[in-house]
Chain A
Amino acid sequence: MGTLTIVRMDEREFLEYVQSGGQVETADWMPDDYRAKLIKFIEMHGNSELMGVLPEREWILRAPTLQRKLALTAKVQDEVGHSQLIYRVVEDLGKPREQCLADLIFGRSKFHNVFHYPTKTWGDVGVIAWLVDAAAIISQKALLKCSYAPYARIMKKICWEESFHILHGRDVVLTMMNGTDEQRELVQEAVTRWWGPLMQFHGNPIPKDDDPMYVWRIKSQGNEEARQQFLDGYVPQIWELGLTVPDPKLRKRDDGVWEYTEPDWDELKHVVTGHGPKTQERLEFRREFLEQEAWVRSVVLAEAA
């Protein structure tokens, strides 16, 4: 492996190449800025998969039935598997996994806003698997066309597995909505709690041509485009269950565009820079486990050597 195929182009030629749909492989020449942006973006995705299991993990022991416990465990395994696949892509771009983990636990890199919040009830577990995963799959589907081919390829498997998670979440939510008033209330409370973070999830509505991730065709859609797709796909599904969304301004205009109250961008910034309600606790948990299991790694590596 390691044959150079895209021989050195200048940066402008490379930009034209990716903007016209060209794809790049690991061994190809690429501008330093492109490589740096790829690492930052993909690493953040890997971090999010790894941190994203913590809010759900808290509910494995409290799941209401054995079937739910197994399904939730399987979802957690899927997400950790995604983080392994994604960190592999980052490693091949030049940043070792150990360094990704160190940067994560010491707060030097970021993970998605939605994983900084508490999971208060079983209703949250359903709403996370349904709506948070739905928002995530919209971003991830847009990565199937990523200019960096190794990332685009693993996204196929990731999207396939995420589709199970949405079904699992919907099943949890529908079961509760068919249950007692108390259960229905738990779902409504969770939707209300998660709405703000969900609306912030796809990021502020900068024009896509100003978004370096779009310019390099790492992403294939702009932030607002993704949010509109989320609203269009999921608000009707929320409403048809008799649930309400805590935004009096939310409506679909005649031209098909959704109007909504401006999401709280200050909260988004505050949360992803390490100040979310659960950020420090969850990072501490990761630090503890990395330390606690260091002996396993050293034994395994010594045995293999």
Chain B
Amino acid sequence: MIFEVFRQEKKGTAFAHAGSVDAPDMTFAAAFAHEQYGRRQESEALWVVPRDTVHEVRDFHDELHKTYHRVDGYPLKEKLRLARERAGTTRDS
């Protein structure tokens, strides 16, 4: 069985995928992961997960160009310039 291993490098940081181990069961998988990804104290913690329980989701489309929920949907520079002009606060730069 293949188990995916995720490791947390330091306390408080996110777990990231590290690799996989081939093991007959979870006991062996945990022991193999411990040796493979933590024997130099390079990990704070590991998550060991059977590969077939990982469900991958992909294909993120944006047909409607929903820029209003992204920062790049708000180009303020030109509007700010005009607003400053009207207010008489245009900066020289």
Contact = CB atoms under 8 A, between A and B. Distances in A.
Given A84-B36, A300-B24, A300-B28, A5 B58 contact: yes
Nearest to B36: A81
A1 B51 contact: yes
Interface string B51-79: 11011111100000000000000000000
Interface residues of B, number: 21
Interface in A47-83: 77, 81
Contacts of B52: 1
Interface residues of A, number: 20
Contacts of A91: 2, 22
Contacts, number: 44
Given A2-B56, A84-B36, A303 B24 contact: yes
A97 B24 contact: no
A79 to B, nearest CB: 13
B22 A1 contact: no
Given A153-B19, A303-B24, A304-B24, A1 B54 contact: yes
A300 B1 CA distance: 12
A294 interface: no
Contacts of B56: 1-3
Nearest to A299: B24
B24 A3 contact: no
A154 interface: yes
Contacts of A5: 58-59
A157 interface: yes
B22 A88 contact: yes
A243 to B, nearest CB: 31
Nearest to A300: B24
B35 interface: yes
A305 B25 CA distance: 9
A301 interface: yes
Contacts of A304: 24-25, 28
Interface string B11-49: 000000011111011001000100110010000000000
Contacts of A1: 51-52, 54-56
A94 to B, nearest CB: 13
Nearest to A88: B20
A88 B21 CA distance: 7
Interface in A282-305: 300-301, 303-305
B22 A97 contact: yes
Contacts of B54: 1
A84 B25 CA distance: 17
Nearest to B1: A304
Contacts of A157: 18-19
Contacts of B19: 85, 88, 153-154, 157
Nearest to B25: A304
A2 to B, nearest CB: 7
A248 B20 CA distance: 48
Nearest to A74: B39
A85 B37 CA distance: 11
Contacts of B59: 3, 5
Nearest to A153: B19
28 contacts: A1-B52, A1-B55, A1-B56, A3-B56, A3-B59, A5-B58, A77-B35, A77-B39, A81-B35, A84-B22, A84-B32, A84-B36, A88-B2, A88-B19, A88-B21, A88-B22, A91-B22, A92-B20, A97-B22, A153-B19, A154-B19, A157-B18, A300-B24, A300-B28, A301-B24, A304-B24, A304-B25, A304-B28
